[in-house]
Amino acid sequence: IAEQCKACRTSAAVFDMSYFGKFYLSGPDAQKCADYVFTNNVQRQPGASIYSCMLNSRGGIESDLTVSVLDNSQLLPCEPKFQGPGFYVAAGGGSWNQALSHIMSVVRQQKFDVQVHNATNDMALISLQGPKSRDILQKLVDVDLSNDNFPFSTNKIATVAGRLVRLLRLTFAGELGWELHVPNESAVQVYHAVMAAGKPFGIANAGYRALDCLSIEKGFRHWHADARLDTTPHEAGLAFTCKLKTDTDFLGRPIV
C-alpha cells in the first residue's frame, strides 16, 4: 500500500473505480430535478463537472457525488440520447445504491418528469492520478490536456487507443488526474494503453486501500465515516457544496 501511495504522489497510479455508481438524469424536468436534489449549483455550461451533496429533509447528507453537465450533441455511443439538459452522476461504490434510491425517491415525491438511466454495470471507470498523469494521458488522447483547455472540474469526450471515453478531470487522491469513463467492452484496451504509455514514468496499479489513505491525507470526506444521514454539511465541513448564495431551493436547504 505504501508503494502504491508513493507512486501516486511522485509519478502516477491507476485505480479501478468501476464499482462506482454511474447514472444519467435527463428529460423535460432534468434541470429542475437536478437543482432540487443536488446541493451545489449545477446550472452550468455543458462540460462542467461538479462535486455535490444530496440532503434529506432534515438536512442530513444522503450522499456525496459528482455531477457532470452533458452536451446532448456530444455523447458516447453507449450513453442515452436526450434533448435539453442532461447530467451524468458518479457516486461512491459503497453508497451508490443509496444515492440512486434517494434520487428516485425525490423524483417520485416531486413528480419530476425525468428519466434516470442506471449505467453502473455497463461502464468501467479507470482513474489515472499523479503528477505525471497529464504527460501519460497526453500521449494517448486527441484533446489538449493543458490547464487552459482542460481545467479542473470539467469533462470532455476523447479517443484513447481508438476507443471513445468520457474524461473527467477530477481526483479522489488529491493529485492531478483524470477519470476515464469507458464502456465495458473498451475497458481492457484502454487500460493496457494507459499502462503502456505510463511505463517510462513508473506507473503503478493501486487499490482501494491506497486510495483511502491518499484521500484521508488530502482531507476528503468519506460518506458513512465522516458523513451520514444525520450529519449536516456544516458538521461535515461540506457547506461549500451548498448553493446558499443563490435563490435556488434545494432539498434540506431550510435546515442548512
Cα(187)–Cα(199) distance, integer angstroms? 18
Query: Helix, strand, coil proportions of the chain in percent (round to 5)?
Result: 30, 25, 45
Query: Residue 157: enclosing H or E segment and its boundaries?
Result: strand 155-160
Closest CA to 56 of 101, 112, 90: 101
Known binder of ligand: residue 62?
Answer: no
At which residue does the C-alpha cell 449536516 appear? 232
Closest CA to 89 of 56, 119, 109, 114: 119
Q: What is the CA radius of gyration of the chain?
A: 18
**HSE of 2, CA atoms in CB hemisphere, 13 A:** 0
Closest CA to 237 of 245, 249, 246, 225: 225
Long-range contacts of the stretch 135-139 (C-beta < 8 A, 24+): 135/201, 136/12, 136/194, 136/197, 136/198, 136/201, 136/203, 137/167, 137/178, 137/194, 137/197, 139/197
Cα(98)–Cα(101) distance, integer angstroms? 5
Give alpha helix (H) positions in 113-243. Answer: 133-138, 184-198, 208-218, 233-236
Alpha-carbon dihedral 251, 120, 4, 164, rounded to 10 degrees: -110
Binding residues for substrate: 179
Binding residues: 179
